[in-house]
């Protein structure tokens, strides 16, 4: 662990009583290291399988274990062996002198931590701090920052109700539910201040201060500080600010973004932490720049100089070219919430507003958080090579000195945290044929190309089929529960026992149901789709999952239509919709499907990380040439829909892409999948599986991504901000 890693005073308040022989179970439960460590999850499951299956949360599990049950476990040699083995693995990982990538490459770094702000974090389904791809990416970013040993702190909000839970009604309508979560029954700890009580800071709002308490979520070596406004000293109207993720109300949304951004800066000040780099993950966090500017202006520094000063060590990542994803507000809201702050700091509110306007001076010009983040950063990046180019063209006017051939918005392509998304059976296979050293070689293309080639075809296929059977069983249980709620008959529920055939070609499509992602592209020519899916010699089944934002009526209509097809058309059994998409559903899908389908309208998919998760399990991509998929160089790693171009006529583009999709699925993918040798092994298909693993896993992991952020964004920002390296040469930076 790096010498600059931060350890905070915290307290575990859950009512957990443990025998001294296994007292460190509490420590293991409160470190999210277990979310990507199969041995730890197996150990917790062994304690009480039924409770683990219900909660998948070790804190809740340990709260609910009856005291007498420990007597049995203390005589269970299998459990005790697992416990001590997991502890050894955990201690080796957390050891302060552990040799990490950052320690090996930057042993003399003496700057402050890299601080990462995000409005959502997807670490595990038991923590409801995420909605979709941005949050999952943030969670994976933290995990790899821990693995690589970066001096790293994450900051975000803690939502009382999280993102909504989804239920699909019999008519296909999406229903939204917002449960209230008890933070004391989750892997969260109150962060203590110097007075021994939970740390509380205040954030200035018009006419009052909003008080925020701070919670700690420990992600391996990385501490994440989560801000919560639901405390009694706040006015009742302010307590729900951290109530729901992506609340629809515009003013409540700006309140959330002020609280996490400005509040996060104040938390760091209260802890006497001086970051060397401030990373704004999406524009939602851009108001942190205002708080930093205000502090400098109060010290007598002029507003323009303060803006330049804080930009030196600020970096910004934009995640989408879609307008709805680039947050913008009416300038009246900015005046309401920042006029007093500006007056106190002697700053001009109009100058501050101009920082967030694409075209200052135009009537009714909105205030864009993306523009603000660009203006207050010295480094901006998109999340794939194509997205970097698209974003540079979108925002070129914000960079007045950029030349026509310049790319002012750089590119660091997203990745996924391999261990989080890898099925345990596939992980065991890698252990056998690549040795456990594969975990330390996640960025080594040659290692993976050679290692995957050594895996016997029959064993790779066997493991894939086992994970596919897990998916089939999981799907049947979920669908049975859903249809029982709908009031289906016992005979209908018994039919679920034969839903999905583990031997059939299985396609997964799961993501946020925004219309540009075109979940309905498959159904454009229903008759042709029917002929392809119901081919008696080459049947195909497709699993859908995803949520539409409560305010997104067109997205909800897509869900209704697909669910209706899955239940009331002759494609019943070939089309299945899984409700309440979350990280558990995502893991099961990416670990079990044969094909991962991605067909957004190019170039709207900035990256598309879901397609990176299936290949680590041997799945193969079938994708539009958009986002990260444009960077995959081996054509055997998957199939590309369309012609690598976008058409301004969207209806024509949808038609052309759907025809390409049908042609490839019918004439290439299905025949190849069902082509078997004398032993029943699809050897040609397995060549594509191996090509997919070797091409995707090392190049599109968050290990590679976080390394790129460290070397291209964090360390240069730290240097611009004045951090020293104690002997490390500038060239090494």
What three-state secondary structure class fits 506? strand
CATH number of the domain that residue 479 is part of: 3.40.50.2000
Please report the DSSP string for 71-117 in residue order. Answer: HHHTT-HHHHHHHHHHHHHHHHHH-TT---HHHHH-TT--S--EEEE
Geometric angle at alpha carbon 143, from 579 and 510, rounded to 5°:
20
- Residues 515, 570, single domain; the answer is yes
pLDDT at 5 > cutoff 80 = no
Q: Decide: 613 and 416 in contact? Cβ < 8 Å.
A: yes
Q: Tally the residues of the chain.
A: 733
Residues 138 and 117: their CA atoms lie apart, in Å, by: 9
The whole-angstrom separation of Cα 355 and Cα 353 is 5
Q: Which of 515, 471, 479, 522 is nearest to 497 (CA)?
A: 479
User: Does one domain contain both 270 and 309?
Assistant: yes
Nearest to 681, CA basis, from 461, 529, 479: 461
pLDDT value of position 3:
45
**What is the model's pLDDT at position 85?**
98
CA-to-CA dists, residue 181 to 160, 186, 549, 722, angstroms: 6, 9, 20, 42
* Residue where a domain stops, chosen among 94, 113, 129: 94
Co-location of 163 and 85 in the same domain: no
If asked whether residues 54 and 144 sit together in one domain, one would say no
Domain count, the chain: 3
pLDDT over threshold 70, residue 732: no
| Same domain, yes or no: 132 and 254 | yes
The confidence score (pLDDT) of residue 550 equals 94
Residue 644 located in a structural domain: yes
In a domain, 202, yes or no: yes
Nearest to 282 by CA among 212, 383, 178: 383
CA distance 396 to 406: 9
Domain of residue 148, residue span: 101-414+714-720
Task: Please check whether residues 400 and 493 belong to one and the same domain.
Answer: no
pLDDT above 70 covers a percentage of the chain that reads: 98
User: Is 355's pLDDT higher than 60?
Assistant: yes
Is 725 a domain residue?
Answer: no
pLDDT (mean) for 710-726: 87
Residue 234 and residue 85 in one domain: no
What does pTM read for this prediction?
Answer: 0.96
Residues 370 and 464 in one domain: no
Same domain, 484 and 631: yes
Residue 504 located in a structural domain? yes
Domain identity same for 672 and 534: yes
> For the chain, percent helix, then strand, then coil, each to nearest 5?
50, 15, 35
Q: 539 with 630, same domain?
A: yes
Asked if residue 403 and residue 481 are part of one domain, the reply reads no
Q: How far apart are the first and last CA of the chain?
A: 20
Residue 6 confidence (pLDDT) above 80:
no
For the segment 212-266, what is each residue's pLDDT rounded down to a tens digit?
Answer: 999 999 999 999 999 999 999 999 999 999 999 999 899 999 999 999 999 999 9
């Amino acid at each position: 662990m790096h010498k600059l890693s931060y350890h905070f005073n915290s307290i575990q308040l859950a009512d957990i009583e443990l025998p001294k022989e296994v007292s460190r179970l509490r420590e293991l439960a409160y470190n999210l290291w277990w979310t990507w460590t199969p041995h730890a999850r197996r150990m917790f499951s062994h304690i009480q399988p039924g409770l683990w299956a219900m909660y998948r949360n070790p804190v809740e599990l340990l709260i609910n274990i009856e005291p007498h049950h420990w007597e049995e476990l203390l005589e269970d040699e299998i459990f005790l062996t697992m416990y001590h083995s997991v502890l050894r693995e955990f201690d080796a990982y957390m050891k302060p002198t552990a040799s990490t990538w950052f320690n090996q490459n930057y042993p003399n770094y003496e700057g402050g931590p890299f601080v990462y702000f995000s409005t959502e974090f997807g670490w595990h389904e038991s923590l409801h701090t995420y909605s979709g791809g941005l949050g999952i990416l943030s969670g994976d970013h933290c995990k790899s920052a821990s693995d690589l040993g970066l001096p790293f702190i994450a900051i975000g909000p803690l939502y009382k109700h999280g993102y909504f839970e989804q239920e699909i009604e019999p008519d296909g309508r999406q229903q939204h539910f917002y449960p209230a979560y008890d933070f004391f029954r989750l892997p969260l700890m109150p962060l203590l201040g110097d007075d021994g009580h939970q740390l509380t800071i205040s954030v200035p709002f018009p006419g009052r201060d909003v008080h925020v308490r701070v919670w700690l979520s420990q992600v391996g070596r990385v501490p994440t500080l989560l801000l919560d406004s639901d405390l009694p000293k706040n006015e009742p109207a302010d307590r729900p600010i951290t109530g729901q993720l992506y609340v629809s109300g515009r003013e409540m949304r700006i309140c959330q973004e002020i609280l996490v951004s400005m509040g996060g800066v104040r938390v760091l000040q209260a802890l006497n932490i001086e970051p060397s780099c401030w990373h704004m993950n999406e524009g939602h966090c851009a108001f942190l720049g205002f708080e930093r500017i205000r502090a400098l202006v109060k010290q007598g520094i002029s507003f323009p100089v303060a803006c330049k000063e804080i930009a030196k060590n600020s970096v910004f990542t934009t995640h989408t070219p879609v307008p709805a994803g680039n947050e913008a507000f009416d300038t009246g809201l900015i005046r309401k919430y920042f006029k007093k702050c500006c007056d106190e700091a002697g700053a001009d509110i109009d100058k501050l507003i101009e920082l967030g306007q694409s075209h200052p001076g135009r009537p009714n010009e909105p205030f864009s958080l993306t523009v603000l983040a660009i203006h207050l950063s010295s480094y901006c990046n998109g999340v794939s090579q194509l997205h970097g180019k698209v974003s540079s063209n979108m925002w070129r006017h914000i960079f007045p000195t950029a030349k026509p051939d310049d790319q002012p918005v750089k590119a660091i392509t997203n990745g996924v945290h391999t261990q989080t998304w890898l099925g345990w059976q596939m992980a065991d296979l890698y252990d056998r044929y690549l040795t456990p050293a594969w975990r330390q070689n996640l960025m080594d293309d040659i290692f993976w190309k050679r290692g995957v080639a050594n895996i016997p075809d029959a064993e790779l296929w066997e493991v894939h089929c086992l994970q596919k059977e897990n998916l089939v069983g999981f799907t049947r249980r979920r669908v049975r529960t859903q249809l029982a709620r709908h009031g289906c008959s016992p005979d209908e529920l018994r039919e679920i026992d034969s839903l999905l055939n583990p031997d059939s070609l299985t396609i997964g499509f799961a993501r946020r149901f925004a219309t540009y992602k075109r979940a309905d592209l498959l159904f454009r020519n229903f008759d042709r789709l029917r002929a392809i899916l119901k081919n008696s010699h080459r049947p195909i089944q497709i699993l859908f999952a995803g949520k539409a934002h409560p305010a997104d009526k067109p997205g909800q209509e897509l869900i209704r239509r697909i669910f209706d097809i899955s239940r009331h058309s002759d494609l019943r059994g070939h089309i299945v919709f899984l409700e309440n998409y979350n990280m558990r559903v995502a893991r099961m899908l990416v670990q079990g499907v044969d094909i991962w389908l991605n067909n957004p309208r190019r170039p709207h998919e900035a990256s598309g990380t879901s397609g990176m998760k299936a290949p680590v399990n041997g799945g193969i991509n079938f994708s539009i040439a958009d986002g990260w998929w444009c960077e995959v160089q081996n054509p055997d790693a998957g199939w590309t829909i369309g012609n690598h171009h976008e058409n301004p006529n969207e209806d024509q583009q949808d038609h052309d892409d759907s025809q390409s999709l049908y042609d490839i699925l019918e004439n290439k993918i299905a025949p190849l999948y069902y082509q078997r040798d004398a032993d029943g092994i699809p050897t040609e298909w397995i060549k594509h599986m191996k090509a997919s693993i070797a091409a995707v896993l090392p190049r599109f992991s968050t290990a590679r991504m976080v390394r790129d952020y460290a070397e291209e964004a964090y360390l240069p920002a730290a240097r611009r901000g004045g951090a020293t390296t104690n002997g490390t040469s500038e060239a090494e930076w």
